[in-house]
Structure 1
Amino acid sequence: MLSISYLKIKNSNAPLTHIDRDVEVRPEFLERGKDLLYKVKNIHVSGDFFYDEPYVTGNFKVTADLEVPSSRSLKPVDYHEEFTFTENYSLENPTKDEIDENPDPIVKVEDDLIDLQTAVEDNILLNIPVTILTEDEKKNDIYPEGKGWEVVSEKSFEEGKKNQINPAFAKLKVLLDNDDKK
């Protein structure tokens, strides 16, 4: 597990505490993320911790190779993730005002240990795009379908609505046609 002492960073004479490590995911992370990803490998985190009263702040870059489900078909898609994140760490519970005033999350530290492992794992899940497609789905605009149903693009749906006859008007047209024949 990737963790570091809050007090060690706070009391260090060095302005920065550098982290540059490969990360192995825990089984509980894979269980927690089972609906969002199939596999994860080659996770690497690099960045720095520094003390900025009243917090220890961490700025990190993470890279990872994932296998995630397509948002259309659930078929596996290889996806390379690369992102940065910043978190503040505190020995005290942050107040509502502190949370509202700070653009970066404030995490309460337990037992003097900053849990960077969980921060990396959480951010891997948070940075998976909502829409991710296989190459075939992108190239050929493929949507899932089944017996008696199909998913259509928004464009196709709008075109279908334009060509669709309102049932109430269709009945009215029949009545008017009958009046014309009399």
Structure 2
Amino acid sequence: MLTVNFSRVKTSAAPLVHIEREIEMRPEFFDRAKKLVFKADHVMVVGDLFYDEPYVTGNFRVTADLVVPSSRSLKPVDYHEEFSFTENYTQNKPSKEELDENPDPIVLVKDDVIDLQTAVEDNILLNIPTTILTKEEKEQDIYPEGKDWEVVSEASFKEGKKNQINPAFAKLKILLDQKNDDSDKK
């Protein structure tokens, strides 16, 4: 569990408190992540914390090797994630104005403990792209299908829409064709 004491950073003689550590994901993370992350290895966090009244601000860089489900087939995909995030930590409940004005999240600290483990875990989930494909799905443009159904690309869908006949116009065409046939007989 990766934690830092708020008061340690606040009273530190050094301008920055440096963190550089590989962390192990807790079972609670995988319970929370359910079907979003199958595996997480080599999770490394590097960053600095500093005190700027009334906050301790942390700037972090995270790298992780994940196994996540394909967004098409749900098959496991190896995915290397790298991202940065910044958070502000405070011992006093922030006002609505503070929350609205600050571009970075403000996290309320409990019992003088900054929980960096949860911050890293949350940000790992937030930084997983919405579309992740297996190598085959990318290269061969493979879409899932089943009995009497299939997923199609947006281009295929639009092409099908172009060639689709409006049912109301189809009925009108039949009526016009019948009328033309009747007038030809006379």
TM-score, normalised with respect to structure 2: 0.97
Report deviation, 1:10.
0.4
SS in 1 for 2:98: helix
CA–CA distance in structure 1, aligned partners of residues 38 and 27 of structure 2: 12
CA–CA distance in structure 2, aligned partners of residues 58 and 154 of structure 1: 42
SS in 2 for 1:57: strand
* Structure 2 counterpart of 1:166: 166
Q: Letter of the aligned partner of 1:120 in structure 2?
A: V
* Structure 1 counterpart of 2:36: 36
* Structure 2 counterpart of 1:142: 142
Report deviation, 1:35.
1.4
Give the 5 Å matches for 1:97-136: 97-136=97-136
The answer as to 2:1 corresponding to 1:24 is no
SS in 2 for 1:120: helix
**Superimposed CA distance per residue, residues 49-83 of structure 1 (whole angstroms, 9 cap, x where no aligned partner):** 00011100000000000000000000000000000
SS in 2 for 1:81: strand
Identity %: 70
Q: Mark the runs of 5 or more structure 1 residues left unpaired by the alignment.
A: none
Q: Letter of the aligned partner of 2:147 in structure 1?
A: K
CA–CA distance in structure 2, aligned partners of residues 152 and 140 of structure 1: 13
Q: Letter of the aligned partner of 2:114 in structure 1?
A: I
Q: Letter of the aligned partner of 1:143 in structure 2?
A: Y
SS in 2 for 1:77: strand
Report deviation, 1:117.
0.4
Report deviation, 1:161.
0.3
Q: For the pair shown, which has the larger CA radius of gyration, 1 or 2? A: 2
CA–CA distance in structure 2, aligned partners of residues 63 and 180 of structure 1: 72
Aligned length: 182
SS in 1 for 2:36: coil
CA–CA distance in structure 1, aligned partners of residues 22 and 10 of structure 2: 24
Report deviation, 1:108.
0.2
CA–CA distance in structure 2, aligned partners of residues 60 and 170 of structure 1: 62
Q: Letter of the aligned partner of 1:36 in structure 2?
A: L
Report deviation, 1:34.
1.7
Cα RMSD between the aligned structures? Answer: 0.5
Q: Letter of the aligned partner of 1:125 in structure 2?
A: L
The answer as to 2:87 corresponding to 1:81 is no
TM-score, normalised with respect to structure 1: 0.99
* Structure 2 counterpart of 1:53: 53
Q: Letter of the aligned partner of 1:127 in structure 2?
A: N
Q: Letter of the aligned partner of 2:181 in structure 1?
A: K
Q: Mark the runs of 5 or more structure 2 residues left unpaired by the alignment.
A: none
